[in-house]
Amino acid sequence: MANTPQAKKRIRRNARREVINHSRVSRIRSFIKAVELALTAGDKGAASAALQAAQPEIARGVARGVIHKNTAARKFSRLTKRVSALS
């Protein structure tokens, strides 16, 4: 249990940040899911448009510190590879 005022404040702050970070990660997942849905439908135009929308969101997640840089690079790479493989 937190004893010092600073530790109590840190607990309050962490709870607020958890809500914000969770919504950011959820938003990133939604954008990625849009790309994957377009891929499963086989629509290259929609998939590339969704990928163009997803890339800034993933990069923003890296800048905000909610996902790791290498995780974002891996997602960029795999999604781009799958979109370009559509014919």
Number of C-beta neighbours around residue 72 at 10 A: 19
Tell me if the pTM is above 0.85.
yes
pLDDT less than 50: residues of the chain: none
The pLDDT, as a whole number, for residue 87 is 74
The pLDDT, as a whole number, for residue 27 is: 97
What digits encode the pLDDT tens for the residues 14-27? 999 999 999 999 99
Q: Residue 41 is which amino acid?
A: A
Here the tokens at position 20 are 């914000």
Distance CA 85, CA 66 (A): 29
Domains and CATH numbers, the chain: 5-85 (1.20.58.110)
pLDDT in tens, 6-15: 999 999 999 9
The set of long-range contacts for 34-37, using a CB threshold of 8 Å and a minimum separation of 24, is: 35/79, 35/83, 36/79
